[in-house]
Structure 1
Amino acid sequence: MQTRQWILANPPTAEILNDTFELQTTTLPSVGPDQVLLKMQFMSNDPAQRAWIQGDLEEDRVYTEPVRKGEVMRAFGVCEVVQSNADSLKTGQLVIATTGWSEYAVLDAKACRPIQPNESAGIRATHFIGALGGPGATAYYGLIDIVQTTADDAVVISGAAGATGSIAIQIAKHVIGCKKVIGIAGGEKKCKWVESLGADICIDYKNKDFEEQLRKATEGFVEVYFDNVGGPILDLMLTRVKRFGRIAACGSVATYNSLREGGLKNWTEIILNRLQVKGFIITDADVPSIIQKLVQSIKEGKIKIGSDGETVVPTKFEDVPKTWQLLFEGGNQGKLITELK
């Protein structure tokens, strides 16, 4: 059987170009014992994927194997089992698996995690790559385990309208009960949505007076900053975190296409105010346990996972890279998902 795949043709060192990826057709191996043939339905789009393809990475300094030139672009998503030689998985079952940007894939059954959507409970298949997947678990792990946020803390969350940020807002406000929750997002519509999730205020970084608004919202400073973006916003927030405050370094989407450029001007704030800055990766966490806690919070009504928390983009396979790049253009509210047409 043949399938189309997107491979990494020219690993980028700056902006993604038209020749970064190449569409190819390949022949799949036959389905062996304890293996399954999968058809991709929904692809997860994640900022971390950009770091995986960086052309000048020092491999000893990254947390996972990079995608190398000529390899299928790595991605995971919701797949349907269309053929099974494994007792543990049945034809028609939905699973989460890492197939890459490929229409079909043959994988070992043990590499697939079965999921059970519950439409009556409002839990769709796509939630398992969003609120009930890596982004939701990252928000929980970062706020609760990494910087140990408490109800006595005021918190700022950047990228607040994204997949991780939108869940972090809800955890901070409704699960932890923080005394003040401040979001940062791009655009009036997104900011209003973040406030509907529980933020006391959400500030539009696109506004000309953004810095003034942020200083006013953080008067007296804040104890915790959950950073999803890096870049100039992180630099500014180093001046708005209280002495002995904590910063969860979750992502750096503002600089993923310019990793070797710029720098922090306010680094001395970390020293002078004894700030704790801690980076983290969700693969270090007990993700199944965290997901159970998120499910409980959803049942209790503390976390909303409505359709407005996902941006599902119906996409022809030949346009998969275009949909992925919406991540770096602010084209999503909540989790960005590619739905293969």
Structure 2
Amino acid sequence: MTTQIPTTTKQWTLANKPTGAPVLQGEDATFKLHTAVNLPELQDGQMLGQVQYFSNDTGLRNFIQSTVAPERFYVPTVPIGSPMRSGVIVKVIQSKSEKFKPGDLALDFHLGTWSEYIVLEAEQSQPLGALPPGVQPTHFLGALGASGLAAYSGLHYAAQTKPEHTVVISVAAGATGSVAVQIAAKLIGAKKVIGIAGTDAKCAWVKDTLGAHECLNYKSPTFAEDLKKATPEEVDVYFDNAGGDILDLMLTRMKKAGQIAVCGAVSQYNNDQPMALRNWFEVVSMRIQIRGFIMLDYMDKVPAILGELMGAIGEGKLVLDGGETIVEARIEEQPEIWSRLFSGGNQGKSITKLLV
């Protein structure tokens, strides 16, 4: 039986750049759904895939509107009228590349789009063949994908984390933070690992499952006191996924010459006001070293990093169970599912399983 090759696809494009939270409905809606976008004819080296999974990442908010000028951004941003981008896993249905054949699963980290069908460049896509026990394809969108690579490179390379260090990780129940906690506690063996999360239930998971020595609920009215109590010897390394008030408070708990690795600032992505840091002079007074980084800086180290992470899974040091929130949905629901990230609606990596 011959598989019918689609010629059109449903696809979300960027309709308006938001100044605050993305708008999901009405004339000012951030995204627009097109129901019959023509698919281009395949060229040599390309493949046509049916999307199986979307990677939902808070960082995509900066792809559509950021305080950073587009020419200074680390990847191409999404212009008005262009398809919304994200990481995807696709099932290949047609290929003009020897690298892939129909039926294969392929991963693209960040050049996929919110579409039911998509044409991808084979050389920019990774095959997902036979996997070790306990490893699922979706893990390559999270713990074994950009999230895990950012966690590893931020701790090892940007912050130079050592076993004798006290490490604090914000958004510790998120996609990157949940892996960072495990790397710090179980692979590096840091003296003390403290997570920061938004609910008591998430903090319990960060401690009991991921291995943090302590986890603090930043929504608690005693958060500032709890942080001071948890860090009597102050902090060597802060892995920052939050920005905003949490970063401001963390500046007061850093040791002299302490390291801050800045991976993200999720608390600020939907904030239309400039980020205010009252404790900024702590950077001077305590000679704090702040380093922004992205995992793309370390692509030459990816094979070695993945080898170590896969080895940690085999040894039981890296836990994947419970580290994904997978939502089954149709393409029409994708903007709303992605937007849940900003209200803490996920534990670990957020992924959409696309229904057709």
For normalisation by structure 2, the TM-score amounts to 0.92
The Cα of 1:287 is off from its aligned counterpart by 2.3
Q: Flag structure 2 segments of 5+ consecutive residues without an equivalent.
A: 1-6
Aligned to 1:234: 247
SS of the counterpart of 1:143? Answer: helix
SS of the counterpart of 2:278? Answer: coil
Q: Which letter maps to 2:334? A: V
Aligned to 1:294: 309
Aligned to 2:349: 335
| Segment of structure 1 superposing worse, 256-265 or 32-41 | 256-265
Alpha-carbon distance between aligned partners in 2 of 1:35 and 1:62, rounded to the nearest angstrom: 27
Aligned to 1:251: 264
The Cα of 1:69 is off from its aligned counterpart by 0.3
The Cα of 1:288 is off from its aligned counterpart by 2.7
Aligned to 1:84: 95
Q: Which letter maps to 1:200? A: H
Aligned to 1:127: 139
The Cα of 1:107 is off from its aligned counterpart by 2.2
Q: Which letter maps to 2:281? A: T
Change (3 A) 1:263 1:117: farther
Alpha-carbon distance between aligned partners in 2 of 1:310 and 1:55, rounded to the nearest angstrom: 27
SS of the counterpart of 1:223? Answer: strand
Is 1:166 aligned to residue 178 of structure 2? yes
Is 1:145 aligned to residue 157 of structure 2? yes
Alpha-carbon distance between aligned partners in 2 of 1:190 and 1:117, rounded to the nearest angstrom: 32
Q: 2:278 aligns with which of 235, 248, 265?
A: 265
SS of the counterpart of 1:295? Answer: helix
Change (3 A) 1:117 1:271: farther
Alpha-carbon distance between aligned partners in 2 of 1:32 and 1:220, rounded to the nearest angstrom: 60
SS of the counterpart of 2:266? Answer: coil
Alpha-carbon distance between aligned partners in 2 of 1:56 and 1:161, rounded to the nearest angstrom: 26
Report Cα offsets for 1:279-323 as digits up to 9, x if no partner: 0011111323211221112122211111x1000011111010001
The Cα of 1:130 is off from its aligned counterpart by 0.5
The Cα of 1:259 is off from its aligned counterpart by 5.4
Alpha-carbon distance between aligned partners in 2 of 1:138 and 1:56, rounded to the nearest angstrom: 22
Alpha-carbon distance between aligned partners in 2 of 1:273 and 1:57, rounded to the nearest angstrom: 28
Change (3 A) 1:142 1:56: closer
Report Cα offsets for 1:247-280 as digits up to 9, x if no partner: 1111100001125423111000000000001000
Q: 1:9 aligns with which of 12, 15, 36?
A: 15
Report Cα offsets for 1:74-110 as digits up to 9, x if no partner: 1111110011222221111001023210110122322
**Residues 182, 201 of structure 1: 8 Å contact kept:** yes
Alignment of 1:1-341 (within 5 A): 1-18=7-24, 19-24=29-34, 25-54=36-65, 57-97=68-108, 98-118=111-131, 121-196=133-208, 197-258=210-271, 260-285=273-298, 286-306=301-321, 308-341=322-355
Alpha-carbon distance between aligned partners in 1 of 2:272 and 2:253, rounded to the nearest angstrom: 24
**Residues 117, 124 of structure 1: 8 Å contact kept:** no
- Identity over the aligned pairs, expressed in percent? 47
Change (3 A) 1:262 1:3: same
SS of the counterpart of 1:254? Answer: helix
Q: Which letter maps to 2:229? A: K
Change (3 A) 1:124 1:117: farther
Residue-pair matches, total: 339
Runs of 4+ in structure 1 over 4 Å off: none
| Segment of structure 1 superposing worse, 252-261 or 262-271 | 252-261
Alpha-carbon distance between aligned partners in 1 of 2:306 and 2:90, rounded to the nearest angstrom: 20
SS of the counterpart of 1:89? Answer: coil
Alpha-carbon distance between aligned partners in 1 of 2:312 and 2:104, rounded to the nearest angstrom: 27
Q: Which letter maps to 1:325? A: S
Q: Which letter maps to 2:94? A: Q
Alpha-carbon distance between aligned partners in 1 of 2:344 and 2:79, rounded to the nearest angstrom: 27
Aligned to 2:4: none
SS of the counterpart of 1:149? Answer: coil
The Cα of 1:233 is off from its aligned counterpart by 0.3
Alpha-carbon distance between aligned partners in 2 of 1:171 and 1:190, rounded to the nearest angstrom: 18
| Segment of structure 1 superposing worse, 220-229 or 256-265 | 256-265
Change (3 A) 1:138 1:55: closer
**Residues 37, 107 of structure 1: 8 Å contact kept:** yes
Alpha-carbon distance between aligned partners in 1 of 2:181 and 2:67, rounded to the nearest angstrom: 34
The Cα of 1:229 is off from its aligned counterpart by 0.5
**Residues 158, 183 of structure 1: 8 Å contact kept:** yes
